[in-house]
Structure 1
């Protein structure tokens, strides 16, 4: 595994995690 793929995977996982966290917090505040 090369470092470029690993770095892009971490960045992608961070973006997806941030979006999921934003949606969960938004839904939690509405209730």
Structure 2
């Protein structure tokens, strides 16, 4: 999980808005399930 966290942090720097949208979508899908 540490490796994925590092990759996510790297992607968060250049794509914060897109990552936020993806997280919102994931949260919505989780609540729906």
Name the TM-score class by shorter chain: 0.5 to 0.7
Unaligned runs of 5+ in 2: 1-12
Q: Post-superposition, which runs of at least 4 consecutive aligned residues in structure 1 deviate over 6 A?
A: none
Aligned length: 21
Q: Which has the larger radius of gyration?
A: 1
* Structure with the higher fraction of residues in helix conformation: 1
TM-score (norm 1): 0.60
Unaligned runs of 5+ in 1: 24-31
